Amino acid sequence: MKTSALRALRRKLAANSPVYGLWVTLESPSVTEIAVALGLDWVVIDAEHGHLDWKEIVEHLRATVRSDTVALVRVASLDAGLIKRALDIGADGVVIPWVESAEQFRQAVSYARYSPEGVRGIGAERATCWGQCFVEHTAEANENVLVVPIIETVKTIRQVPLMTKVDGAEVFFFGPADFSATAGFRGQWEGPGVAEQILAMKDTIRQAGQHCGLIASSEADIVARKEQGFRMIGLGLDAGLLIRSLRSALQTVQRSPRMIASLESDPGPPAPLERPPESMRPDRPEVMNAVGSGQRVELSPGVSFECLVGKHNQAHNLTTGWVTFARDAALPYHTHTFTESITLLQGSASVEIEGRKYVLKRMDNVVIPAGLAHSARNLSATEPAVFQVSLATDTPARTLVEKFFSRRTMPDDSTGLPGAERVNRFATAKRFAAGPNTEFIDFFNETLVPGIEMSGGYGLFAPGGRLPAHVHDFDESICIISGEATCIVEGRRYLMSDGATALQPRGRVHYFINETSSTMEMLWVYAGPMPERIIVQERCATAEGNPWR
């Protein structure tokens, strides 16, 4: 047991400073050596999940000797034998999974302490220098050992206030994935409402003078968790960080790998089809719409909507266009019976959803599911604000809402309320390659926003960037927000720029390419919940190979 490291950790927590660590799941002790060399405050060696055996665990513990990195072992269950063994081989403390009550927490602390305060037996192992330091070790162990329960079930919510009163309570960890599963959202990291429940429990624990921890899901999440008041923040799992780094490196060479549960090699995208399925034969032509050519509607004083794709040009289940706010103009609270996506293209603006105010920067996107009351405002007294909006319907309508909402300004990096709105911060959004020399962002789809009716996002095309020839089983809207794009539709070529928006009906073979020396940006929206492309042979996009002739 490294008492000096434990005291250093506690001093940082007492000063309300975050302590950062790594969750270790791989067998090589080099992983922990690297964490120590980089000055991490703690590591958790995972003996609950995965394949680590006790020999590998002790090698990880040895890698932290004579350092200020606290080494904890997550045992497989609340078991006196497992806790004793982890401490006997030199762990500075233990992490206990699935703790659901104050009584279980008391048991865990008892198992980690020597008599008379607990029931831990004294062994002649590493912790006691193989029996040579019985007096020294047992004199300091009870006072210094760290016992961290993991809260990972909804059953625990009511027990949290009682758990904070347990002798030995210092730090509580949260397991969002298991918590989501017990809330009925298996497979989700934070299912609908789970983030709010975790934050509420965090506040209870902090008010009791104790601290909370969890594993961050990304670099942006590390910052967000610190601002939320979490103080024991995991930078990630060792395997997860390795995968993230490899994916980032592969994306620089235009590869977007994915992993599948069978661990078989992902065969990648299927070979292009000879032609689209006959069942997708289109019933309408494509339509190219320049800004200024669409139907205009005044939504409120100083707020106008220009519809570029919609019922007027035979779009199905989709409406897109531009909303312009004059200086200081505002759109009052209203609701829709369908999902809306809002992306700020120009100016300074805010969007409120039931009192939650989000200040947006250029290209920030807000997705508002059906039924949520929302409003928007131009924050500038001198310049207009311009949004691109997408609606999951071809017959849009709104209902004004007069209800008062208590306003609170959300943090600048807030990504919304799980189970409600989703806010995509353009600067930190995850990017991927959808074709050579491209960079794409998924703003919304069924995976990101369960139950949504449409999908869409952002695309950046470097010079020469392009997509393969493809079709969709639903209508698509593509808005060129900067640069110049060449759109190829079954041999017909269109040059698009300055906000021009294409309607590609279901079944039309098309692709976009940047044939200029500058970058090109687009916003795309599909009238379907997942951005699925059916790749076809390139000749299908030519006049000669047009499959629908």
Q: Are 469 and 537 in contact (CB under 8 A)?
A: yes
Q: Are 507 and 541 in contact (CB under 8 A)?
A: no
Q: CB burial class (10 A; 0-12, 13-18, 19+) of residue 41?
A: buried
**What token pair was written down for 262?**
């069978």
237, 230, 189: which is closest to 213 by C-alpha? 230
Active site includes 336? Answer: no
Q: Are 502 and 286 in contact (CB under 8 A)?
A: yes
Beta-sheet pairing, 303-309 with 319-325: antiparallel
State how far the Cα of 168 lies from the Cα of 157, in Å rounded to an integer. 19
Residue by residue, DSSP assigns 124-166 as: SSGGGTTTT-HHHHHHHHHHH-EEEEEE-SGGGGGGHHHHTTS
User: In the chain, how long is the greatest CA-to-CA distance?
Assistant: 90
Strand partners for 504: 476
Buried b (16+ CB within 10 A) or exposed e, 185-211: beebebbbbbbebbeebbebbbeeebb
**Of 49, 60, 211, 374, catalytic:** 49
Distance of CA 8 to the CA centre of its chain: 32
Q: Tell me the CB-side half-sphere exposure of residue 366, using CA atoms within 13 A.
A: 28
In the three-class reduction of DSSP (H, G, I as helix; E, B as strand; rest coil), residue 280 is classed as helix
- H-helix segments, 149-230: 160-163, 176-182, 194-207, 219-228
Spatial strand order of the sheet with 455-461 comes to 287-289, 501-504, 476-482, 520-526, 455-461, 438-444
**What token pair was written down for 354?**
């039931």
**What token pair was written down for 23?**
């969750």
Amino acid identity of 66? R
DSSP state at residue 272: P
Beta-sheet pairing, 399-400 with 330-335: antiparallel
Assign residue 178 a region: left if phi > 0, alpha if psi is -120 to 50, beta otherwise? alpha
Residues carrying an active site annotation: 49
